[in-house]
Amino acid sequence: MRNYKKKSIIWKGLRRVSETRIWDSCIEGLEKGSKSESKQTRPSLPLSITDTPHAQGSGSHSSYHSRHHQSHYKPYLREDLRNQHTITVDQFLCHILQVPSALLQKKVAPTIQGPQKAVHEYTSTFGHETMCYHPFVKVANLIISETINTLDIIFCRNDPVIVKGSFGDRKPDVVGVCYNAVREDGDRGGVDNLINDGPKGYAFYWSELLSFLEFKVNRFVGGGSSVHTSSVSSGVSSRSNLIAPTASSLAGSSSKFRAKKLAPANVANTHTVAATCSSTSSKQPSGGDVSRETSRKSKRRKKDADVDVDELQCASYALELLSHGGLRNHIIGALVSDNSLQLLYYDRSIILISEPFDFIVNHSHLIITLNALAGFNARQWGYALPPLEPAYSLPEPRDRDRLFDGLRLTLKNGRQLRLMDTIFHQHSLIGRGTCVVRATCVGAEVNKSDGWEGTVIVKFSWPSKSRMAEPTIIEEARQMAVESGDNWVLDHLPMVLYSEDTEWTLLSLVLIELLGNKYEKRVLRIMVQEELFPIINRCTAPELAVSFRERYSDVCYQWLVERCNILHRDISLNNFMLRKKGSDIYGVLNDFDLAVPLDHTGASSRQRTGTKPYMVIDLVDKDPPVHKYRHDLESMVYVLYWIISRYDNGEEIPCPPLQQWADLGGRELVAEKRSFLTDRDIPEPTQAFRPLRRWAGNMRSMVRTGYSNQAAHLETQPFDQSTFDYETLGSAITFPEFRRILELPVT
């Protein structure tokens, strides 16, 4: 009965005035039935087979460019943090930082000698967190100076300066950078200046940062007294704790590592650790470099009912580094609370945090950690090297839109590409992290016929290893077109010139096995294809009508469904493209990352990040029904409305309508889409697209009728779902109906 009630509530708001009694009686009848017939066996709905759920995390925040403050992306990061799990310090050191188990089993490490004075300074200067930066940085750099430092990493103060290279106004307290970023003879003033005061007027860029450290002071003590973390407790009940693996779970480890809990003197209540102290502070964003006093005022102690504020803050730094710090697979950071430290790991699938450890009492863990990080090469820091030069090694830091400009990409087939401007870079932590860059082929003879001449498009992404590869889907569709004699379809499908997958992770196989289904294996996919152009280049109603009528909806998409049994599942404005061949222009349905066979019945991945403004109402649910072709047709309706109400003469108008479709999520987005389908007050087409008003109105009516059919059936036959056609919502959303609308005159 639970499913029926949920459906009724979802569609209660989707009604016309004449349908009010129908909707209400439907809901009342279902609620009464749930009480009086609770013992009866309920038939399962055909829609009960779940599909890959839409991601609600940072990757779904499609309006980041205009809504980039912490309050805007906090709800999305909260969703990402549901992928967070806690492990022991030894597990983190052994299975992430690759510390030999023999060193951990000795339980002895070299004592802190040179940094001893700095350690005493750190423990005796508690009063405000800014007082902790210099002595801790001094300790860290002294420890690193006594070991092999592969990348010449150095830790510097950053607060209160906002890091450049993204829209987000974020300012980590301490950052790890390569020595070449110090610029002894430049505006940053050298090592001593950066350790003491930070970069001041010459801010770091995200592309220069290897790592970050965030500081919190919760109890002010002096004289070297130990501040135990007895107040540490779980912040989010949905996040799991992995600190007590069984012996069998670690079987097969080449290091014969055995996880053990920290001593009670170091961490209290370790079996519930999932966050840091609940009394925390948070930085507020600002529009530029700010003074230290402003920074102090902005860090107020807060509590969040759903997730620890410190975790959100640290995750926001990892988000910027993965999105604007170059082509990176993972990020390593740390959270320092008084004299306890937690190690942090972020990649495209998971967030792992260690138990906190007292680095004053148990300084061996701090030494081992810093020695391991100092020995890391670029790939261990998460950079895709090869095939791409890491961003930190560039002579000058890069802003977000030219992060890869001028870099040379070496492919496994021997070809080399010179990258140019970035077309799109998904702002995401968990997910595919798609990045699209223009490029040209260099250093080899290029034949005009093979498609490599001129500008090509390079797409970087981290899709799920279990998902059918996008190049494979496209190639199978193109082969089907040739074999069936439908060669005309080739003009409307993308042409992949080359693709390669690279699988790598910093996590050990033992840890991956321990994580089980909590960890989704991903690959770095590099795909090269011909350059296509946005559909908004079709500036008139007749031109846009041609694209919809003859290319996307009626021909190419329907052919994919009926002849290739392929569901696209990511219909969006950015995936409606144009191909230019001489004087001819063809519409192309692009981006098959989320495409699946028509007969799939389950999740092909743990989540999928569709494009929010065009998401279908009943697929926003965390337990979505199986994706049907009518969902893609509904998304096409939203694409059409988005274009005709927001663009005029190829340009987006000021203060465009329907912005809530991009800004909202979850239930709020569902409510907004319901209102759009039922309200009379909807956005008018711009001047250029007014002739398409009739199309738009008929399409909206088609979708509304489908959901009304579903609601009426639930009211009249709530226990007989087998007779209702969920594929088309009662024959409302079909190819013939869509074709009928597209054949209406454009006047």
Q: Give φ, ψ of 511 to 5 degrees.
A: -70, -40
Instruction: Tell me what pLDDT residue 595 has.
Output: 93
Task: Name, of 300-314, 538-552, 559-573, the range with top average pLDDT.
Answer: 559-573
Band (pLDDT 50/70/90 cuts) for residue 185 is: low
Check pLDDT > 50 for residue 287: no
CA 290 to chain centre: 29
Helix or strand or coil: residue 374?
helix
Band (pLDDT 50/70/90 cuts) for residue 115 is: low
The secondary structure of 260-305 as a DSSP string is: -PPPTTT-SSGGG-SSS-SSEEEPPP-SS---HHHHHHH-EEE--S
Cis? peptide before 160, omega within 30° of 0: yes
Cis? peptide before 386, omega within 30° of 0: yes
Check pLDDT > 50 for residue 545: yes
CA 561 to chain centre: 28
Residue 637 token pair: 């309706």
Indicate the length of the chain as a whole number: 747
Contacts of 78 (CB under 8 A, 6+ apart): 306, 307, 312
Mean pLDDT of 633-656: 95
C-alpha to C-alpha distance for 628 and 63, rounded to whole angstroms:
27
Using only C-alpha atoms, what is the Rg of the chain?
28
Mean pLDDT of 40-46: 34
First-to-last C-alpha distance (Å) of the chain: 48
C-alpha to C-alpha distance for 629 and 137, rounded to whole angstroms:
56
Q: Please say whether the beta carbons of 338 and 308 come within 8 A.
A: no
Instruction: Tell me what pLDDT residue 195 has.
Output: 82
Check pLDDT > 70 for residue 25: no
Mean pLDDT of 717-737: 89
Instruction: Tell me what pLDDT residue 112 has.
Output: 55
Q: Among candidates 304, 269, 305, which has minimal Cα distance to 86? A: 269
Q: Among candidates 156, 202, 198, 160, which has minimal Cα distance to 179? A: 156
Residue 147 token pair: 């070991």
Question: Hey, what amino acid is at 51?
Answer: D
Q: Please say whether the beta carbons of 539 and 465 come within 8 A.
A: no
Check pLDDT > 90 for residue 148: yes
Mean pLDDT of 706-724: 87
Q: Among candidates 221, 247, 210, which has minimal Cα distance to 122? A: 221
Mean pLDDT of the chain: 78
Instruction: Tell me what pLDDT residue 722 has.
Output: 80
Instruction: Tell me what pLDDT residue 551 has.
Output: 58
228 against 55, higher pLDDT: 55
Instruction: Tell me what pLDDT residue 688 has.
Output: 93
Residue 367 token pair: 């030494």
pLDDT in tens, 343-374: 999 999 999 999 999 988 888 899 999 999 99
Band (pLDDT 50/70/90 cuts) for residue 61 is: very low
Instruction: Tell me what pLDDT residue 664 has.
Output: 85
Alpha carbons within 13 A on the beta-carbon side of 373: 28
Residue 552, judged by CB atoms within 10 A of its CB (0-12, 13-18, 19+), counts as buried
pLDDT in tens, 84-107: 999 999 999 999 999 998 887 765
Q: Give φ, ψ of 331 to 5 degrees.
A: -130, 140
Instruction: Tell me what pLDDT residue 263 has.
Output: 32
Cis? peptide before 387, omega within 30° of 0: yes
Instruction: Tell me what pLDDT residue 56 has.
Output: 53
- Count Cβ neighbours within 10 Å for each residue of 33-52 and write b for 16 or more, e otherwise: beeeeeeeebeebebeeebb
Instruction: Tell me what pLDDT residue 325 has.
Output: 93
Range in 187-191, 255-259, 613-617 with the lowest mean pLDDT? 255-259
Question: Which residues face 340 on adjacent strands?
Answer: 337, 358
C-alpha to C-alpha distance for 109 and 364, rounded to whole angstroms:
5
pLDDT in tens, 566-611: 999 999 999 999 998 888 888 899 999 999 988 766 555 555 556 8
The sign one gets for the Cα dihedral 609, 612, 616, 617 is positive
Instruction: Tell me what pLDDT residue 253 has.
Output: 34
Q: Give φ, ψ of 402 to 5 degrees.
A: -130, 35
Range in 143-147, 269-273, 462-466, 704-708 with the lowest mean pLDDT? 269-273
For residue 501, give the DSSP letter: E
Helix or strand or coil: residue 484?
coil
CA 736 to chain centre: 37
Instruction: Tell me what pLDDT residue 353 has.
Output: 97
The secondary structure of 510-530 as a DSSP string is: HHHHHHGGGS--B-EEEEEEE
Band (pLDDT 50/70/90 cuts) for residue 658 is: very high
For residue 52, give the DSSP letter: P
C-alpha to C-alpha distance for 498 and 457, rounded to whole angstroms:
11
Q: How many CB atoms lie within 10 A of CB 733?
A: 25
Residue 408: in which H helix or E strand, if any?
Answer: strand 408-410
CA 346 to chain centre: 11
Contacts of 695 (CB under 8 A, 6+ apart): 545, 548, 640, 741, 742, 744, 746
Alpha helices in 382-507, H assignment, sequence order:
470-483
The CA–CA distances, whole Å, from 331 to 148, 328, 432, 723 equal 21, 8, 15, 52
- Token pair 């239930």 is at which residue? 667
Q: Give φ, ψ of 522 to 5 degrees.
A: -130, 165
Mean pLDDT of 631-640: 95
Instruction: Tell me what pLDDT residue 298 has.
Output: 42
pLDDT in tens, 302-350: 444 456 889 999 999 999 999 999 999 999 999 999 889 999 999 999 9
Instruction: Tell me what pLDDT residue 714 has.
Output: 87
C-alpha to C-alpha distance for 567 and 565, rounded to whole angstroms:
7
Band (pLDDT 50/70/90 cuts) for residue 125 is: low
